[in-house]
Amino acid sequence: MRAQRHGLSLAIMVGLILGCVTPNAGAFLRDYQVSSFSSPDNSSLKKSLRFDCPRALSEPQAALGAGAGAQGSGNGNELAIQRAIAGVKPNPAALIPPGSPFNSMDIGAASTDPTNDRWGLRAQTFCATNTMVAPTANDVTRYVKDIRIVRASSVSDSSRTAGFKAVDATCTGNLVPGRTLTPIGGGFMLDNGTFNNLPPRQVTAHFATRLATGFRTTAGESDPTDKNWRIRSYAICANLGAPIDPQSGTTTTSQFVTSITTVSGSSTSGQSRSPRSAFAMCPRGTFTVGGGAEVRRQGSQASNPVTNNVAITSSAPVVFNKTTGGVLDAAAFNGEAWLGSAQEVDATDSDWDLQVRATCAALGPVVL
């Protein structure tokens, strides 16, 4: 059987972009912060949480991304991430000017089979102030700058013995010469051992969370399988300190995150169309500083809860081959889009689709 792939051609990707907006020109990101919270532990099939980024005086907040995890009292292998995406509440949404980034995060997970085990949803949100105030030499350490994305992979095999796998992508090392980088978000991709090919349907992501030095992804088999599979974890790293010249040791010009915008994309909807993929493409000259994906109900079932039998298999920043238009398997890069994919763990008649969002920004120097 021919392997199913996450990827879409560049022409199709352009057709899937929804809601591309004009960049919030001149705005900078500063005062990055992480918030953590949890749902109650019980045996509910599905759980969800929403968190609004804290507002800093009169300045708007940007929701860059989220970490999500489903932690149970049993083996936890039947738990799956279904949502970790930026969103806004309906009422204030009309007051947000075009080009502004979203200011809240929606996080959700499910048990793919009914269970009596208690489990809870663990969530992180990654927020920063979206300010029109340019950095100066006195407050440069408050600003987000020098973005770099790194990828790490697990082994490709079946995990029937261990039950799960975990892999950390770390922001350590000389990723940007002379800079110390800190994780500000991340993502993951599950595959069958070949890049951009979907994993066995029994494999689901349990945790995708920020660490002090990187981003960790944990996944397992909801039902045992002898097929090989692999985790790819992605950390979005940034300089949250002083820009230091490695030669002189003095403060120098950095690539500051500016002109923040949010773009969205979605897959086709319908019954029994699994798997599904979608891209959110950053405008030309901008790069991903965050993103996320969610499974949604569609059609006549749009008002009903999302089925528990669909799991996100990838939610990650990607970069493209300029010749072929395909997704590159890069170990370190600046992202040009956010890729999301999902598939049915067990067959369902539910009408569902996949939505993807990317927070994009320009990177440029500022003379201090």
30 vs 4, higher pLDDT: 30
Lowest mean pLDDT among 7-16, 160-169, 209-218, 280-289: 7-16
Give the number of domains in the chain. Answer: 1
Question: Above pLDDT 90, what percent of the chain?
Answer: 47
Asked if residue 240 belongs to a domain, the reply is yes
What pLDDT, on the 0 to 100 scale, is given for residue 27? 86
Q: State pLDDT tens for residues 198-242.
A: 999 999 999 999 999 999 999 998 888 889 999 999 999 999 987
Asked if residue 96 belongs to a domain, the reply is yes
pTM for the whole thing?
0.88
Q: What are phi and psi of 314, to 5 degrees?
A: -155, 145
Asked if residue 203 belongs to a domain, the reply is yes
What does each C-alpha distance from 346 to 111, 125, 231, 267, 307 come to in angstroms? 12, 30, 21, 19, 10
What pLDDT, on the 0 to 100 scale, is given for residue 218? 94
Per-residue confidence band for 97, with pLDDT thresholds at 50, 70 and 90: low
Question: Above pLDDT 70, what percent of the chain?
Answer: 79
**Average pLDDT in the 304-320 region?**
87
Q: Cis (ω within 30 of 0) for the bond into 275?
A: yes
What pLDDT, on the 0 to 100 scale, is given for residue 22? 38
Tell me the sheet residues that pair with 61.
129
Asked if residue 206 belongs to a domain, the reply is yes
Asked if residue 1 belongs to a domain, the reply is no
Among 79, 59, 63, smallest CA distance to 71 is for 79
Asked if residue 2 belongs to a domain, the reply is no
Domain of 187, CATH number, reads 2.60.120.690
Owning domain of residue 208: 10-365
d(CA 153, CA 106): 27
What does each C-alpha distance from 348 to 82, 277, 293, 300, 368 come to in angstroms? 15, 17, 20, 15, 57
Q: State pLDDT tens for residues 101-130.
A: 788 899 999 988 887 889 999 999 999 998
Asked if residue 4 belongs to a domain, the reply is no
Q: State pLDDT tens for residues 51-89.
A: 888 766 577 788 999 999 998 876 567 888 998 988 764
What pLDDT, on the 0 to 100 scale, is given for residue 91? 43
Asked if residue 115 belongs to a domain, the reply is yes
